[in-house]
Chains A and B, each alone.
Chain A
Amino acid sequence: DGGITQSPKYLFRKEGQNVTLSCEQNLNHDAMYWYRQDPGQGLRLIYYSQIVNDFQKGDIAEGYSVSREKKESFPLTVTSAQKNPTAFYLCASSDNWGPYQPQHFGDGTRLSIL
């Protein structure tokens, strides 16, 4: 079955450490997205990629980095510059970038600070 796989499900970060969240899709989608979800807030866009080898910053990109070297993969690195990284992170993909495309979501990664 096609879908999006995020790993790990739970991740713990020490102060000053970079961590990488994995996102893989086998839906042959061009567009991929990373969102952050905090309690009481709506999902917020961190980065998006419309096509392989291209990505753009979202509203809250500071302290994060991404790469899109393969169509199926869009890993997110949470750097030590992100001072409040504790959150639920969701990866999504859609056939194309745009308003009419339904997004397919992974099951999320919950990141906590040790």
Chain B
Amino acid sequence: KNEVEQSPQNLTAQEGEFITINCSYSVGISALHWLQQHPGGGIVSLFMLSSGKKKHGRLIATINIQEKHSSLHITASHPRDSAVYICAVWAVNQFYFGTGTSLTVIP
């Protein structure tokens, strides 16, 4: 069983749509990170959350510690947002990663 579950697995959206990607975890965590993996394979860190909500440009990330759930929202989606979004949680002295949500934004 995976400690981290993401949904949906795949997502296709029209340019301009509001997008939500979900992450649920089953273990006690110290922090949760959202990552973006580009088609070439490189990964960049988007957010680190231990509580509440963070916003960076068109991206918003929230976490509910009691419900063990986090969401990543993208407002006014754009084709350049097409990537795999990965949720990672820190538990038992290391990161555990979800399998990712593959997002395609169509012009």
CA distance A59 to B43 in the complex (A): 21
A106 CB–B CB distance under 8 Å: yes
Cross-chain contact of A104 among B29, B45, B88, B98 (Cβ < 8 A): B45
A30 CB–B CB distance under 8 Å: no
A42→B97 contact, CB < 8 A:
yes
CA distance A110 to B94 in the complex (A): 24
Cross-chain contact of B100 among A35, A42, A44, A104 (Cβ < 8 A): A42
* B24-40 with Cβ < 8 A to chain A: 29-31, 33, 40
**Interface of chain A, helix or strand or loop or mixed?**
loop
Between A and B, how many residue pairs show CB distances below 8 Å?
52
Which residues of chain A have C-beta atoms less than 8 A from B40's C-beta? 107
B41→A108 contact, CB < 8 A:
yes
* B77-98 with Cβ < 8 A to chain A: 86, 88, 90, 94-98
A interface size (C-beta, 8 A): 24
Given the known interface contacts A100-B50, A102-B33, A105-B44, the answer about A45 and B95 at a Cβ–Cβ threshold of 8 Å is yes
CA distance A107 to B43 in the complex (A): 7
Which residues of chain B have C-beta atoms less than 8 A from A102's C-beta? 33, 45, 48
| Highest count of chain A CB atoms <10 Å: which of B42, B43, B48, B88 | B43
CA distance A83 to B40 in the complex (A): 26
Interface residues of A (CB under 8 A from B): 35, 40-45, 48, 58-59, 88, 90, 92, 98-100, 102-108, 110
User: Can you list 18 A-B pairs, Cβ within 8 angstroms, ordered by A?
Assistant: A35-B97, A41-B99, A42-B2, A42-B4, A42-B97, A43-B88, A43-B95, A43-B97, A59-B94, A90-B43, A99-B31, A100-B31, A102-B33, A103-B45, A107-B40, A108-B41, A108-B42, A110-B41
